Amino acid sequence: MLFADADLLLLDEPTNHLDSDAKSWLMDFLRGNRGAVIVVSHDLVLLDEAITRVLHLDAGRLREYRGTYSQYLAARRAEEVRTTALAQRQQAEIKRLSVLAEVMRRQTEKRARTAKAIFKRVDRLKAQQVSAPKRERKVKVRFPDPPHSGRVSITVKGLTKGYGGPLVIRDVNFEVERGQRLLVMGLNGAGKTSLLRILAGESSANEGTFRLGHGALLGYYAQEHEGIRAGVTVLAHMRELSDADE
């Protein structure tokens, strides 16, 4: 599809399931592409490297911003600050004029006529009034502290895995201590998912062993979302796993 010399490319999450080399190649391709590109993505690097305009779809309305994703964020934040300040000034002026007109309405006939004119001005201001940007609700979730585990979280010795052909994992050995973060890198098909499935107990190794440390609890988020049931909410999954009632 990319080599068809298309005038317009529609890319829906194009970096999903790409390894680092393939992703780098795609970035270079898009930078040099002379055609138009419409992309839907959550990849921040792609959004800053390969686009020149952002279309923001919110509550059924489409707004256009020029520039990269980072430039869009800055422009949107500045716009929200300006709109919020304008809405506050308008609301304060409407309140001030309404109070003034209400006081004058109860006074002399001449002042009552002036009050009527002020009320009309208030109506015009209300018709032109902008709405302050709505803040997105943020859900705060408090997770219980896990039980204290030992210094070593997992020990892997000699893991080997194959599927009837060449081995995808050969004699893998490593140890991860509590608090460490380990990145597993490799080309597509190099065996990264196979390794994690073995450690999660979803698959078995041809050879080798692994052992969780004392008191270590294992959680597994699969690439293809196995274990997540369609139609069941995130909250329902959390309640099931935590045995929580609320």
User: In CATH, what number is assigned to the domain containing residue 192?
Assistant: 3.40.50.300
Q: How sure is the predictor about 239, in pLDDT bands with cuts at 50, 70 and 90?
A: confident
- For 174-206, the pLDDT digits (tens) are 999 988 999 888 877 888 889 999 999 889 999
Helix (H) or strand (E) holding 58: strand 53-58
Report the largest interatomic distance among the alpha carbons of the chain, rounded to a whole angstrom: 99
Reply yes or no on whether the pLDDT at 91 is more than 70. yes
- For 21-57, the pLDDT digits (tens) are 888 888 888 888 888 888 888 898 888 888 889 988 8
Give the domain range for residue 204. 152-242
Domain count, the chain: 2
Alpha helices in 37-108 (DSSP H): 44-49, 69-105
Q: How far apart are alpha carbons 233 and 133 in whole angstroms?
A: 28
Place of tokens 């390894």: 19
Long-range contacts of 145-151 (CB under 8 A, 24+ apart): 146/217, 147/215, 147/217, 148/215, 149/178, 149/213, 149/214, 149/215, 149/216, 149/217, 150/178, 150/213, 150/214, 150/215, 150/216, 151/177, 151/178, 151/213
Q: How far apart are alpha carbons 82 and 90 in whole angstroms?
A: 12
Q: End of a domain among 36, 51, 66?
A: 51
Looking at residue 205, the DSSP 8-state letter turns out to be -
62 in any annotated domain: no
34 in any annotated domain: yes
Dig out the tokens for 40 from the structure. 């839907």
The b/e string for 105-127 (b: 16+ C-beta within 10 A; e otherwise) is: eeeeeeeeebbeebeeebeeeee
- Let me know the angle formed at the C-alpha of 123 by 118 and 127, rounded to the nearest 5 degrees: 145
Helix (H) or strand (E) holding 62: strand 61-66
> Whole-model pTM?
0.61
Q: End of a domain among 32, 51, 70?
A: 51
19 in any annotated domain: yes
Please report the pLDDT score of residue 237 as a whole number.
Answer: 76
